[in-house]
Amino acid sequence: MNPQFPQGNYQQPIPPAGYPPYPPQGVAGMPQPLPPSASAPQGEMVRYPQAGYPSATPAGVQSPYAANFPGYPQPRKSSNDFVLALKAIWPTFVGLHKSEGQVRVKANFQLKHWWWVMMLLFSLLAGLSSSVLLARSADIFSFGLLGSSGYGTYSILYFGYWLLCFVVFTLVAFAVVILRAALAFAAARNKPTAISFTQVASIVATGLVMPSFALALMFLISLLPIPVLTFVLIAVLQVLLSASFLIMELLIFGSLKELYPQDKSPEMRHAVFFTIWALCASLVIGMLAAPTGTYAVKESAKAAVEDSIQNQVDDLQELKRLFDN
């Protein structure tokens, strides 16, 4: 026979720590359904937090639906490759001054757009500084006497001719640095190495950082209408520009030497290709940049003389009209 248990009110067992209390029981001992919560939608079961059990969404992991609601932090976007290349310019400049050129070369290898961004920036600065220096050459190389003599010319180039010089000088500078990268790549490929043109161009671009800063300073100082001091600062920057190109060649030579450490005489190969580049660069500058600058100065001076004569003729006609009246 099954034992008969007395009917009565049983005490509810005490729930473990961390659990909510049990719901009240009915008279028949059957659990009654919980009333729907005001914050929970109808038809959904109210979930109680369980002590000792991990949450459904681990800490530090954002729900994939959280980004669809306002107020939740959005995931941080990664920087663009172009922005990373621009941000690497100043650390490279500082590293070159600290004799950490090879370290910066290896760091810039990781930047996909470094080589063409730096070459384009150098070309723009070269075109800008050269064209402004040409436009201000009459006042700068006369130690500021031309501007203070009453003639009052700030630029010997009209805007259209200055723009022509800027475009041509920029294209010539870009062609020259691309040619340097191509000849450095030819020097590296004389030995069986796995280097690519992009890596060699990245080395050349790293060496262009210091000349770019010198060109930027030259552009800013060329705009100053200060007697004598402007000429002195431009002359000093010209010397620094030449020294920065020498540092660039030393950086290229040291970087390429690491590619073929077994080679006993890389100096001769580097000197040969550097001489070829110097001759080709001089030829390109002599055939394109110099004639363009000469043409711009001549035509601007011709236009200035014609405008001056026309103004004098207009003044005479105005004077004649006054006498006739």
Given this model, what pLDDT does residue 78 score?
56
Instruction: State the chain's mean pLDDT as an integer.
Output: 78
pLDDT digits (tens, 9 = 90+) for 35-89: 554 444 554 444 545 444 455 555 545 544 444 444 545 555 556 888 888 999 9
Given this model, what pLDDT does residue 204 score?
94
Q: Which two tokens stand for residue 228?
A: 């004598």
Residue indicated by tokens 């010089």:
165
Q: Ramachandran region of residue 228, left (φ > 0), alpha (ψ -120 to 50) or beta?
A: left
Average pLDDT over residues 113-120: 94
Does residue 118 or residue 3 have the better pLDDT? 118
pLDDT digits (tens, 9 = 90+) for 201-248: 999 999 999 999 999 999 999 888 888 888 999 999 999 999 999 999
Beta-bridged to residue 25, according to DSSP, are: 31
Confidence of residue 317 (pLDDT cuts 50, 70, 90): confident
Q: Quick one: what percent of the chain has pLDDT higher than 70?
A: 67
Alpha-helical runs (H) found in 137-258: 137-140, 145-148, 159-188, 197-207, 209-222, 229-257
φ, ψ of residue 49 in degrees (nearest 5):
-65, 135
